[in-house]
Structure 1
């Protein structure tokens, strides 16, 4: 895939970039390793000052970088601004909390006295340069939620971003440089996917983190495993959205629309499968479908647009194949199900609600990356849970119920990295984020995320005789 900015609202190629050659990659690896030797010894106060400066600079750049993201991958401009603002929040959160999250732990001497120690300390130390392989759908947030904790832990970072968001990737490198980070502390690698293996195998790379597709995750995990290097993977999702009889139906339907079409429906944690109890199915369906059909599809730079184009022509084709397969096998589109005829240029797709889904349909098992919702009717809580878990993925999940017993049951039995009750799945700097099953492993964000790329070191002190 060419490294280029292609406006998905028009299909026009705006700017192309040459991939780095072997010598240029080597230069960046050298700089990253040298920067680590300096950065790892800095104080938390110094690191926090740098990250706060980066946050201030990003906040000042909010509108400009939002327009860059919208131009490169098509999300509505208001959502791009919100993404950038969320990055500012996360930077400040880690700048303010990293020192306490990585503070030394001292076991009670009585608990380890039989080891012969008079004192023991557990210390979190940086591990080196981390390679980040990141996707286009949240081109700023996906990177910052790795970079902020990694840099605060004393690591350095190399970013291999998606090839269709090169200007956003270069902006990030420049942002950290302007903030005063040592040269090489955070660098962008404009390279294709074929270059990842050699970079990851380089001994100067200590670990890798990837957000993306399941095949990409398998590939990176296999290479890293062969090299015995730590990885964190956040892969696909087919998140369920359960609506049970005690739910506030108006609120559940309103939030359901946002949960499905945020980021033009291109989010791993977007709600995709709407599983509704038969007692409230028809009422929810009516509300949900009406709201989906009323959404405005159009120019993502227009402040009144709800849904912009999909990020790539291939992405739209993949989505169409899933919808067409389902319809040909008997599913019914309650709204949408086609390219909007008024938008012939660009990669637009109408907000769609499908019902009558059966297990033989591809859409029942595969992730839909676009504004397409599948609607299911279930008889009871047992059937709802079974259907929710009937997926190879396990990233997030939503459940709308005010019944405490149902909430307890769902908290115990849902196979996902998160269960959100009466609200939409979202990520927050203070809460761990990650999945189960084929949605990946490891955690980002919170204290769990910053410790993923630390050498958890035991310091043992014997008696001085």
Structure 2
């Protein structure tokens, strides 16, 4: 009897969807089928591949009225925010726009005697293991450029967003993509690891926890399969003495609380120069106190439940540990009677925090943020770097030169100035330390989804 993979809705704890996990043999057959189609797909003109990917994304957008409430039921994001199609379209469209340039041959010599050039060749079958927090946008980061580059794609989605991969494949096939080239796999962990260890894939892109990344690396050990890993984050914001205080508070607090804090590059810790600290904290508390926690299907709700009870439990534990060690919570629980001790978790701002507390070190991934006072740039840089993670850092100043100089000292993948919690498809999405390795989107994203192949042709 096959194992059932279930999506438990955070709204009420009911089983929203379930699918049987594929056997290893069935999964291998699906991947082998995609592989058989890949060479013919790669031989098609680039313009045709681009057009079909654009059509698939457009078809997915036509499903948005179904997608939005479906996401609310699966992972709790309020319907008022309208789903993810805007980001999906922005990222896929940008990658389609730059494909011809990004995949163009590098001509070293084209003379009467020699033709020397470097071409980009697709890996073959790209395996995308996608997370639940932004299930369409995180998947499209790899799915779109991988297909454009001539790869076949196998997608495994998180159980919390069980229906996303199924819907994405249907949209692309309805738009004209060859059936079986892009496949959705319902897999348990053991089968996933067995496929990777058995060299079923030519490249694996995983977005998820540090523990999950280690499991992927262990499964791939000795296979020489290429890996892209986007893992945890503990992204900081730093508000300097010349910052636009209103803009900094609005953006950083939204970056900490949006999607119930369940964002890869969400703000999890904030450092504010001493001269602006009190005013910043006052604005932050006023903002968060005005949120409405509740049923994500209610258009008035601004803060939905956590996607899973265990995520909320971890956040509550971090807050409790911090308070016991001397941190002060500033958000009044009476404002959020909907907090039920389960998935519905009230937002919280903590002050008097230190880096001895887990809430300032470990990934929280919840609507909780700690705010610390700092004396200046040196202390802020030291604290921002005091982390096992390195995804993004958000700097608030009117001086771009100062931001660039501080950015050069921060161990991170992306440096923002006067913005946060945004993925720019024109830039490489990457990280350092325990955040992982590799890079998605931009020209570099195409480079990672292909391999270089050199041609040295002597004519005479």
**What band does the TM-score fall into relative to the shorter chain?**
over 0.9
- Of 69-78 and 332-341, the range deviating more from structure 2: 332-341
Structure 2 CA distance for aligned equivalents of residues 194 and 171 of structure 1 = 24
Contact 1:338/1:349, CA 8 A, preserved across alignment? no
CA pair 86-219 structure 1, distance change in 2 beyond 3 A: same
Q: CA deviation at 1:80?
A: 4.5
- Of 238-247 and 327-336, the range deviating more from structure 2: 327-336
Structure 2 CA distance for aligned equivalents of residues 161 and 33 of structure 1 = 20
Aligned residue number for residue 59 of structure 2: 57
Q: CA deviation at 1:340?
A: 4.0
- Of 445-454 and 353-362, the range deviating more from structure 2: 353-362
- Of 99-108 and 283-292, the range deviating more from structure 2: 99-108
Structure 2 CA distance for aligned equivalents of residues 453 and 91 of structure 1 = 14
Match of residue 371, structure 1, among 362, 367, 370: 367
Structure 1 CA distance for aligned equivalents of residues 325 and 140 of structure 2 = 42
Structure 2 CA distance for aligned equivalents of residues 133 and 457 of structure 1 = 27
Match of residue 154, structure 1, among 150, 169, 174: 150
Structure 2 unmatched ranges of 5 or more: none
Aligned residue number for residue 219 of structure 1: 215
Match of residue 326, structure 2, among 312, 315, 330: 330
Q: Give the secondary structure class of the aligned counterpart of 1:123.
A: strand
Match of residue 321, structure 1, among 292, 317, 321: 317
Aligned residue number for residue 96 of structure 2: 95
Q: Give the secondary structure class of the aligned counterpart of 1:310.
A: coil
CA pair 336-265 structure 1, distance change in 2 beyond 3 A: farther
In the alignment, structure 1 residue 198 sits paired with structure 2 residue 194: yes
Q: Any residues of structure 2 matched to 1:391-406 within 5 Å, and which?
A: 391-406=387-402
Q: CA deviation at 1:64?
A: 1.1
Deviations 1:380-429 (A, max 9, x none): 11001110111010001100011344213212111110010011231122
CA pair 433-337 structure 1, distance change in 2 beyond 3 A: farther
Aligned residue number for residue 260 of structure 2: 264
CA pair 339-140 structure 1, distance change in 2 beyond 3 A: farther
Contact 2:60/2:172, CA 8 A, preserved across alignment? no
TM-score (normalizing by structure 1): 0.94
Match of residue 430, structure 1, among 426, 434, 437: 426
Aligned residue number for residue 183 of structure 2: 187
CA pair 429-404 structure 1, distance change in 2 beyond 3 A: closer
Q: CA deviation at 1:336?
A: 5.1
Contact 2:60/2:168, CA 8 A, preserved across alignment? no
Q: Any residues of structure 2 matched to 1:432-451 within 5 Å, and which?
A: 432-451=428-447
Aligned residue number for residue 37 of structure 1: 39
Aligned residue number for residue 5 of structure 1: 7
Structure 1 CA distance for aligned equivalents of residues 437 and 414 of structure 2 = 13
Deviations 1:91-125 (A, max 9, x none): 22223321221011112569xx9xxx723111001
Structure 2 CA distance for aligned equivalents of residues 22 and 363 of structure 1 = 40
Match of residue 77, structure 2, among 69, 75, 78: 75
Contact 1:10/1:345, CA 8 A, preserved across alignment? no
- Of 258-267 and 199-208, the range deviating more from structure 2: 199-208
- Of 272-281 and 32-41, the range deviating more from structure 2: 32-41
Contact 2:312/2:342, CA 8 A, preserved across alignment? no
Structure 1 unmatched ranges of 5 or more: none
Aligned residue number for residue 381 of structure 1: 377
Contact 2:339/2:346, CA 8 A, preserved across alignment? no
Structure 2 CA distance for aligned equivalents of residues 285 and 65 of structure 1 = 36
Match of residue 411, structure 1, among 407, 410, 418: 407
Deviations 1:251-304 (A, max 9, x none): 111111211112110012001110000111111111111111111111112222
Structure 2 CA distance for aligned equivalents of residues 211 and 335 of structure 1 = 32
> Which consecutive segments of 4 or more residues in structure 1 shift more than 6 A?
none
Structure 1 CA distance for aligned equivalents of residues 269 and 173 of structure 2 = 42
In the alignment, structure 1 residue 228 sits paired with structure 2 residue 224: yes
CA-atom RMSD in angstroms: 1.9
CA pair 339-18 structure 1, distance change in 2 beyond 3 A: farther
Contact 1:338/1:350, CA 8 A, preserved across alignment? no
TM-score (normalizing by structure 2): 0.95
Match of residue 243, structure 2, among 225, 244, 247: 247
Deviations 1:350-382 (A, max 9, x none): 111011112322222101111000011111110
Match of residue 68, structure 2, among 66, 69, 76: 66
Aligned residue number for residue 350 of structure 2: 354
Structure 2 CA distance for aligned equivalents of residues 336 and 271 of structure 1 = 21
Q: CA deviation at 1:348?
A: 1.0
CA pair 25-309 structure 1, distance change in 2 beyond 3 A: same
Q: Any residues of structure 2 matched to 1:103-182 within 5 Å, and which?
A: 103-107=104-108, 118-182=114-178
Deviations 1:306-326 (A, max 9, x none): 110000011111111111111
- Of 41-50 and 241-250, the range deviating more from structure 2: 41-50
Structure 2 CA distance for aligned equivalents of residues 237 and 27 of structure 1 = 36
Deviations 1:135-187 (A, max 9, x none): 11011111111100000000011111111211112111211211211122111
Q: CA deviation at 1:79?
A: 3.0
Q: Give the secondary structure class of the aligned counterpart of 2:345.
A: coil
Q: Give the secondary structure class of the aligned counterpart of 1:107.
A: strand
- Of 229-238 and 23-32, the range deviating more from structure 2: 23-32
Contact 2:194/2:219, CA 8 A, preserved across alignment? no
Aligned length: 458
Structure 2 CA distance for aligned equivalents of residues 242 and 295 of structure 1 = 24
